[in-house]
Amino acid sequence: METYILLGFVLVLSIYLGLELISKVPSTLHTPLMSGANAISGIALVGALMLAVGDQFGQLQEVLAFLAVTFASINVFGGYLVTNRMLKMFKKK
């Protein structure tokens, strides 16, 4: 139970942190910020990896872990590169 209370603290604090971080951002940066935040949500890749390094394995888990790793890494690589491309476009202006 202790662990869940601590996790609850982390959840609440990160909600406030998120609100704080996105306030006062110029509107031209909204799209790259959203794209960057989406890339960060690819941190689910770490969860997928933990799944894939686990030793209790069935056929189904193996397939699901592989699919999860693949799609999460599409999100991570694609997300960061797209954000970088957008930001470079802003610099030229």
| By the rule CB under 8 A, 12 interacts with other proteins | no
Q: Which is nearer to other proteins, 9 or 54 (CB)?
A: 54
Q: Is residue 50 within the footprint of other proteins (CB under 8 A)?
A: yes
Applying CB under 8 A, does 41 fall inside the site for other proteins? yes
Q: Nearest approach, Cβ of 88 to other proteins (angstroms)?
A: 7
User: Is residue 31 within 8 Å of residue 86, measured between CB atoms?
Assistant: yes
Angle at 10 between CA 32 and CA 44, to 5 degrees: 50
Q: Which of 5, 16, 91, 92 binds other proteins (CB under 8 A)?
A: 91
Q: Is 70 among the residues that bind other proteins (CB under 8 A)?
A: yes
Q: Which residues contact 28 (CB under 8 A, 6 or more apart)?
A: 90
Which residue pairs from 12-15 have beta carbons closer than 8 angstroms and sit at least 24 positions apart in sequence?
none
Residue 25 binds other proteins, judged by CB under 8 A: yes
Q: What is the CA radius of gyration of the chain?
A: 17
- The residues binding other proteins (CB under 8 A) are 4, 17, 21-22, 24-56, 58, 60-62, 64-91
